[in-house]
Structure 1
């Protein structure tokens, strides 16, 4: 289960809409299963099919999470033109253990769809996503 405050999800949707047609990405921090913070990242690949986070931004985000007493709970990215399900590349590159992967689909830009998954050793398991507030 991953609980995300509505305002955080709204901010992710806005980031994805602004970045369209490219994929956008970022990190979410929090405690337990509840997200408390969002750290938008630059997609250095500038692609509509994959993403790569800026390492300096990643380092700064992880440092900020630690300072706030949070841990990394999720890695998020958008799929501008495909469903909210991990691609083969998403699965292959899911190397961070114990985090959720939130995928936001803009396949229908008027009705974005967010889904969360745990990806480990090539296995994909859906995670219940709760939007709070």
Structure 2
């Protein structure tokens, strides 16, 4: 189960809406080994595409170096789908390289500023996708 604060949930959804019609992407880092998402890190979709996302390699390198310096790891890796449901595509599954991370997808398909939208979380390990519950809390 992914447990995430309302503030982080809202930031992920706001990023997905702001970047629509392109896919948004980013990371929520947390203390290494804790499984607790804490630090919201929106990233630029280097592909600038409504059907694909790609982290800029330089930005991603800086992020991992920063997380190492802070003794953090990527707890949540998120992106949006702008025209389909919030379920990992074959490309998403192939790119999933962090077996300990929660992969969050937000669908902004058929939405307006007030919603509706889908916010779903998955574990993706060795190509196997497992959906998990999401629990939104005020604070940890």
TM over 0.5: yes
The worse-fitting range, judged by mean Cα deviation, of 73-82 and 53-62 is 53-62
**Aligned equivalent of 1:128:** 133
Structure 1 outlier segments of 4+, above 6 Å: none
Which of 99, 113, 122 is matched with 1:117 structurally?
A: 122
Q: Residues 130 and 5 (structure 1 numbering): CA distance in 2 closer, same or farther, change over 3 Å?
A: same
Which of 106, 109, 120 is matched with 1:107 structurally?
A: 109
* Uncovered stretches (5+) of structure 1, i.e. residues with no partner: none
RMSD: 1.4
CA positional deviation for 1:128: 2.0
Distance (whole Å) between structure 1 residues aligned to residue 67 and residue 137 of structure 2: 20
On the 8 A contact 2:30/2:73 being kept in 1, the answer is yes
**Aligned equivalent of 2:39:** 37
Distance (whole Å) between structure 2 residues aligned to residue 131 and residue 68 of structure 1: 25
CA positional deviation for 1:68: 3.0
Task: Note if 1:15 corresponds to 2:15.
Answer: yes
Query: Residues 6-61 of structure 1, C-alpha deviation per residue, up to 9 Å, x if partnerless?
Result: 11111111111111101010111113232101111111111111111011211222
* Uncovered stretches (5+) of structure 2, i.e. residues with no partner: none
Distance (whole Å) between structure 1 residues aligned to residue 96 and residue 90 of structure 2: 10
TM-score by length of 2: 0.87
TM-score by length of 1: 0.91
| 1:32-111 alignment runs, 5 A limit | 32-109=34-111, 110-111=115-116
Distance (whole Å) between structure 2 residues aligned to residue 126 and residue 115 of structure 1: 8
CA positional deviation for 1:120: 1.6
Q: Residues 70 and 95 (structure 1 numbering): CA distance in 2 closer, same or farther, change over 3 Å?
A: closer
Distance (whole Å) between structure 1 residues aligned to residue 15 and residue 109 of structure 2: 15
What count of residue pairs does the alignment treat as equivalent? 133
Distance (whole Å) between structure 2 residues aligned to residue 51 and residue 64 of structure 1: 22
